[in-house]
A and B are shown apart, each in its own frame.
Chain A
Amino acid sequence: MKSNQDQSTNSVLASLEKISLSFGGIDVLIDVSMNIFRGELLALIGPNGAGKTSLINCISGFYKPKSGHVFLNSLDISALGPVKRAKLGISRTFQNIELYSGLSVLDNLMAARQNFMTYGIIAAGIFFGKARRQEIRNREVIEDIIDLLELEAIRKTVVEDLPYGFRKRVDLGRALSSEPGLLLLDEPMAGMNSEEKEDMARFILDVKELWGTSMMIIEHDMGVVMDISDRIFVLNYGRRISEGTPEEVKNDPEVIRAYLGE
């Protein structure tokens, strides 16, 4: 994994070019350009209302920007909807956990693998040949995720019976199920206690190390951000105000001003 990261740190996985987004008369994002490199963990920070979630929505295709382009593997995907982008390997988690609350953890994760199911309803019914092979393959991938995120004990628990911290973990698992090349994490640690945050940070690093997944993470806990991210991108009022390694960003007067409101 390490060598993989070394060779590819310079290659761009996804990039945004002069993205602008507005709701009515309010400018949410103004000319934001950024690169996401292969295998990196990029943190997106900024005060409340800076436009972080909107930016993620622009990448995943939930929002259509007013102007600008989104590239994935040098391919312009600006015109594609969220489903097609997901098929190209963009996956995300949600601030307010989006899972099927009546299904078990296992079923939630399996459902997220629908991109890898190509059999028809009849084949699924008799569970033979392709359907069976794919189902087994899908379950194997899910079991790897269960193992990584330590979900064994709740595999068959219905999601609505789970405490909040576990649901967040399952949401991450759901996002991983589609084997994404780019994972967008929208506040994966919000509302967690420090022990749960520590676990989550460990899982995120494990994912990065094991599968080399490129990740963009929105997080408010600066301690965690500084600890785990390779690079930080700072937004304020829809504009890019700083970008760089944790050390650089920490000492950037612009960032300090944005946070402390000098």
Chain B
Amino acid sequence: MIPRSFGHILGNKKRNRAKTMLDQSQSLADTLPKLLLGYYKKFGHSKVALREKTRGIWVKYTWADYYSIVRHLATAFLELGIHKYEKVAIIGETKPHVYWYELAALACGGQVLGIFPDSSPSEMKYFLSHSESTFVVCQGQEQVDKILKIKDECPYLKRVIYWELKGMWSYEHPLLITMDEMIKIGKKCVEKDPDLFEKMIKGTKADDAAIFLYSSGTKDLPKAAVHSHWGILKLVDMLDRIVSARETDQTVSFLPLALIGEQLLNLAYSLFKGFTVNFPERHETVRENIREVGPHFIFLSPSLWEAFIKTIRVKIENAGFLRRFCFETALKVGYRIGDARMLGKKADLLMRLVNILSDKVVFRPLRDRLGFSRTRTGIVFGATVNSDVIRYFHAIGVPLLQAYGSVESPIITIHSKNLIKPGSSGQALRGSELKISEEGEILIKSPFLFQEYYKDPEETVKVIKEGWYYTGDYGRINEDGQLIVIDRMDALQQIKGDKRFSPQYSEIRLRSSPYIKNCVVLGHVERDYASAIINIDYDSVGRWAEANGIAYATFTDLRQNQGVISLLKKEIETVNKYLCESAVIKKFIILHKEFDPDEGELTRDHKLRRDFVRDKYDNLVEALFGNEEKIDFTTSISYQDGTKAELKSLLSINRI
């Protein structure tokens, strides 16, 4: 068995004074609240734990502040009647408040689930009633309104807490309570019994369930994978052996708590390692704020990494000849250097010398612009990431690793430094074992798997057999022991002649075009080609149209323009070169709208719900595999407030 001590946070011998302050039991910090207590005793007010930009200023919270807020919230939770094993749902953009509430709930022996802040009321109702949540923590008015709408259908609900007062001044409801009120209650409790909180923390157990991670539900209703403190912390420990973050590091956190990555790589990892987490002011200011922070370690979703590259491309395309020439030359050299570094080798001397110059002139200013000038490790979380993205960042000097996991097993594989093969997702973490079943399914046996699906033992038994977790992903292992994930087992598309291909692979390639925002690639059993439904990127296609003298007034104009269609044809032809014969795309439609989570086409974490899309646009799909040139198409649109409207459009079917 792997030892359960996380006493390393106390291991710094130079801090003798801090060490003597700690009593013996503290060295066994095996739950998240215990880690918080440990850092509080170690650093107190001497080190910043969280930093949030608000009202234009970065506001600091030291470990002592962090501890004190969590202490007040946790005791207030007790006063409000929380019981052990009760669930607390947190709905909001990621702010320090989210961390405080999560730790407060965990200290009470509760369990925490994150819900995407833009979820619809009915989605929230599902999560709250399925998890039997008793407390809901909301960011502000938007979420509170949704909860109040569904409160009667959530029988377990005891209190609705919120922290942003904006717009809430005249709300009066017995369920509602603000964070400030909770802090007040907490202060009274702490006065009465100053040792209570520490006792509560000591009562938390490593094996207790701590975190619920809901699957994104691409096929059916989301399932909740339950993780214990121990599982999460052990995973972070293993991860740290690859990433090796430092206590003095800075990271940026803004992805929703409902994502595994956020729970693991920011919240749990920061408590494990003691680095500082920074929270941007608003979603729109994330990039600016990343630049202000200059993170040492950052994790982003594939689409965000891709967005960075698209921005660079667009800027370079609009730059003057000289700048463009410098950049392109530097990038060529950068690729040579990056490709060698990814495998832990050195490029030849000449290249290295040229790169010294190009790094100074091009890449260092570029990294500074992006906010990556101090970044030692970037992580992209996803099963299938376009290998060009990873190569690109290595070329410009940002070491990017890919991690692959699911809510059931948050990290299955990760690249280790010096062994980064683009296209693969890296190796299994130490202590876990990987194999491929006869059908090609990826299986993993590891000590940090989820405990169970909440309230669904049948499903649990279905995916865990003899200790192996069946991921449902199709893949293979290459000669270096690195995993190559191809697609979901059930997403593989069949074409005429019983051939199969992975649509995801094509989609990722297509999405790397600056003009394609999203797409779905489909096959048909009676046809020997694939087809695509495409969402064009309005901004970049618009810019392209302006540069090429194409006039347009609306999105519809742009989408129907012959020039735009031939531009996309060219983009698809380029992608086709990389695809195997059975996956070649021969027809495509430019859709009149973008795929949207509000309409169920994407999950809240923006994964494509392929089956849903195929059903929703079944007549389009039929036309794509038929002989029509054009199709009249009527769709109903649902707005965020629930109203519906009908939209008629003429879509042309384009051949390549």
Contact = CB atoms under 8 A, between A and B. Distances in A.
A147 B55 CA distance: 7
B282 A146 contact: no
Contacts of B285: 152-153
Nearest to A210: B169
Contacts of B282: 150, 152-153
Contacts of A152: 56, 281-282, 284-285
Interface in B53-82: 55-56
A144 B55 contact: yes
B627 interface: no
Nearest to A198: B641
Contact of A143 (B55, B166, B169): B55
Question: Most B CB atoms within 10 A — which of A1, A150, A153?
Answer: A153
Question: Most A CB atoms within 10 A — which of B56, B167, B170, B284?
Answer: B56
A221 interface: no
A155 B169 contact: no
Q: DSSP class of A's interface residues: helix, strand, loop or mixed?
A: helix
A150 B169 CA distance: 17
Contacts of B169: 1-2, 209-210
A248 B393 CA distance: 65
B170 A2 contact: yes
B369 to A, nearest CB: 16
Interface in B148-167: 166-167
Interface in A47-86: none
A147 B282 CA distance: 10
Contacts of B56: 139, 143, 146, 152, 155
Interface residues of B, number: 11
A148 interface: yes
Contacts of B166: 147-148, 206
Nearest to A155: B56
A153 B284 contact: yes
Interface in A209-233: 209-210
A2 B282 CA distance: 29
Contacts of A150: 282
Given A147-B55, A153-B282, A155-B56, A206 B170 contact: no
Nearest to B168: A209
Interface string A127-139: 0000000000001
Contacts of B55: 140, 143-144, 146-147
B152 to A, nearest CB: 25
A2 B55 CA distance: 26
A146 B166 CA distance: 12
Contacts of A147: 55, 166
Interface in A176-197: none
B248 to A, nearest CB: 28
A146 B55 CA distance: 8
A49 B123 CA distance: 50
A148 B284 CA distance: 15
B539 to A, nearest CB: 14
A144 B55 CA distance: 7
Question: Most B CB atoms within 10 A — which of A139, A146, A147?
Answer: A147
Contact of B170 (A1, A146, A148, A202): A1
Interface in B593-607: none
Contacts of A139: 56
Nearest to B285: A153
A209 B170 CA distance: 8
- Of all A-B residue pairs in the complex, the 10 with the closest CB atoms, nearest first, are A153-B284, A143-B55, A152-B282, A153-B285, A152-B281, A209-B169, A1-B169, A2-B170, A143-B56, A152-B285
Interface of A: 1-2, 139-140, 143-144, 146-148, 150, 152-153, 155, 202, 206, 209-210
18 contacts: A1-B170, A2-B169, A2-B170, A140-B55, A143-B55, A144-B55, A146-B55, A147-B166, A148-B166, A152-B56, A152-B281, A152-B282, A153-B284, A153-B288, A206-B166, A206-B167, A209-B167, A209-B169
Interface of B: 55-56, 166-167, 169-170, 281-282, 284-285, 288
Given A1-B169, A206-B167, A209-B169, 19 more contacts: A1-B170, A2-B169, A2-B170, A143-B56, A144-B55, A146-B55, A147-B55, A148-B166, A150-B282, A152-B281, A152-B282, A152-B284, A152-B285, A153-B282, A153-B285, A155-B56, A202-B167, A209-B167, A209-B170
